[in-house]
Homo-oligomer: A and B are copies of this chain.
Amino acid sequence: MWHQQQIHFETGGRETIDITAKVSSIVRESAVQTGLVHVFMQHTSASIMLCENADATVRDDLETLIGRIAPDADPEYRHDYEGDDDMAAHGRSVFTSNDISLPISAGELALGTWQGLYLWEHRYQPHHRNLMVTIQGEGFG
A25 within 8 A of B: no
Task: Name the one of B57, B81, B99, B110 contacting A42, with C-beta atoms under 8 angstroms.
Answer: B110
Whether A62 contacts B90 by the Cβ 8 Å rule is: yes
CB pair B38 A103 closer than 8 Å = yes
Task: For A61, give its contact among B36, B76, B99 (CB under 8 Å).
Answer: B76
B44 touches A50 (CB 8 A): yes
Look across to chain B and name the residue whose beta carbon is closest to the beta carbon of A43.
Answer: B112
Binding site for B on A (CB under 8 A): 2, 4, 34-36, 38, 40-45, 49-52, 55, 57-58, 60-62, 64-65, 69-70, 74, 76-79, 81, 87, 90-91, 93-103, 105, 110-112, 114-115, 130, 132, 134, 136-138
Between A and B, 9 residue pairs with Cβ closer than 8 Å are A34-B134, A42-B110, A44-B51, A44-B115, A50-B98, A60-B79, A64-B74, A99-B101, A103-B132
